[in-house]
Structure 1
Amino acid sequence: MVRKPGKMYRNLAKKAYTRREYMGGVPGSKIVQFEMGNLSQEFPTEIDLIVEETCQIRHSALEASRISINRKLLKDVGRTNFHFKVRVYPHHVLRENKQATGAGADRVSEGMRLAFGKAVGTAARVEAGQMIFTVFSTPQYLDKIKAAMRNGAHKLPTPSHLKVHTIKVSGRIVAAPKIAGDKIAEPVKVEAEAEAVAAEPTAKGAEAAKGAHKGPEHKGAEPAKAEPAAKGTEAAKGADHKGGKAPAKGGKDKK
């Protein structure tokens, strides 16, 4: 398949064609990512790439520009020092009336003029003054970011310029709920464990105190240990009675 030049789809000549539920076989967008770099930090400087003409930008051109900018940012700035964002999406479906090319094309190319055509790709419809790409970073990397964005702007079908302005940041991490949750959860677990450990000796001491308090009562109430004393008392009483009766009997015998 021979790809036609981008100037054939650059101008907004027709209405937007975006209702994909009524068409089939639309090629997928080539744009892989829309946000790159460090997504969990706020940066005070914003650099925007703004187009100067109203036009259509094919998804292949957007992806080529994105790759060029992102690759240069990773090399010169570092992944943790920027947040790169693509601000447009290729909604518009491009159609093309397929015709034979090459040898013998003059015999088979005759047909209906201005035919509806078949879907061959997608494009983003942008207005003059619209932002296409945005990079968030710190002022120390401003020159390198400008060079990277100018390099990627050469792949777009319209002239463009850069705009830099400062953002008011709160100084907090925005998109890292898991890390924040773990940091909050850990001390709670440690405190709970410490409270449980501190409560165990107290509970054991209370049980020991209760056992010590109940011990003498239970021991005194046990009949098994009290029986020897009772038997000894009864034996002593029996000995006294027998001892008293014995002399009486002896006296009768003497008489």
Structure 2
Amino acid sequence: MSLRPARNYRALQRPYTRKEYIKSIPYSKITKFDHGNVHGKFEYEVRMVAEASFQVRSNALEAARMTVLSQVRKAIPSDEAYFFKVVHYPHHILRKHAMAGVHKAERLQKGMRLAFGKPDARAAQIRRGDVIMFMRVNEQHLETAKYCMKLAKLKIPYMTRIDVVRLDGTEDEEGA
């Protein structure tokens, strides 16, 4: 069965994370959160920042991560020249009522109006102003990092922006 549209899960819900009460917990699609040179000294940080509070599925975070890594590995041959991190972990477990997505769903009984649903996927709950993912690079790879984050932004809901921050503490550009 295909995935439901992201608009069904975008609004923040009460966190459903008590894993001791859930029988079949879906796995997170994200396999690795840190890439590149973790201990390197870099000049710039390109961040994807949330402009509103929303939920994002682990599928979307994984797609954004894979997009960034595929573009970075084409443009920057060495893993020592960048550091990329996905900040949020998808803790929230999404539930799906199976009857609501099938043929003749308009004929559901009133007893099924607030059905609890079965665990379907995981999502990260992101608040306004949170950094979703970031990449640290030196000045010669800054344009590549901006381009990679711009492509990753297409995989996440529209309520994000890209910030470029100089790591000595001063803000360089905003909304690039």
Q: TM-score, normalised by structure 2?
A: 0.87
What is the CA–CA distance in structure 1 between the aligned matches of 2:118 and 2:42, rounded to whole Å? 44
Structure 1 CA distance for aligned equivalents of residues 126 and 69 of structure 2: 21
Is 1:35 the counterpart of 2:16? The answer is no
Can you list the C-alpha shifts for 1:115-151, whole angstroms capped at 9, x where unaligned? 1111101100111111011111101111111011000
Matching of residue 15 in structure 1 with residue 19 in structure 2: no
Structure 2 portions without partners, runs of 5+: 169-176
The count of corresponding residues between Structure 1 and Structure 2 is 165
Q: State the distance in 2 between where 1:43 and 1:150 align.
A: 20
Q: 1:91 to 1:106 in 2, by over 3 A?
A: closer
Inter-CA distance 106–47: structure 2 relative to 1 (3 Å threshold):
closer
Distance 1:158 1:59 in 2: 16
The 5 A counterparts of 1:102-251 are: 102=103, 105=104, 109-110=108-109, 112-168=112-168
1:171-225, Cα deviation, whole Å (9 max, x unpaired): xxxxxxxxxxxxxxxxxxxxxxxxxxxxxxxxxxxxxxxxxxxxxxxxxxxxxxx
Confirm whether residue 101 of structure 1 aligns to residue 102 of structure 2: yes
**Shift of the alpha carbon at 1:159?**
2.5
Amino acid at match of 1:138: N
Instruction: Tell me how large the CA RMSD over aligned residues is.
Output: 1.8
In 1, distance between residues paired with 2:163 and 2:107? Answer: 51
More helix by percentage: 1
Q: Tell which has more relative contact order, 1 or 2 (C-alpha 8 A, sep 6+).
A: 2
Structure-to-structure mapping, 1:60-75, within 5 angstroms: 60-75=59-74
Give the aligned residue type for 1:80: E
Within 1, Cα distance between the matches of 2:122 and 2:50? 19
Instruction: Verify the 8 A CA contact 1:46 1:137 in the aligned structure 2.
Output: yes
Q: Which runs of 5+ in 1 are unaligned?
A: 169-255
Residue 114 of structure 1, CA deviation: 1.3
Which residue in 1 is equivalent to 2:49? 50
CA shift for structure 1 position 84: 0.3
- Percent sequence identity is 34
TM-score calculated relative to the size of structure 1: 0.61
3-state SS, counterpart of residue 120 of structure 1: strand
Kindly state the Cα deviation for residue 107 of structure 1 after the two structures are TM-superposed.
9.3
Give the structure with the larger strand fraction.
2
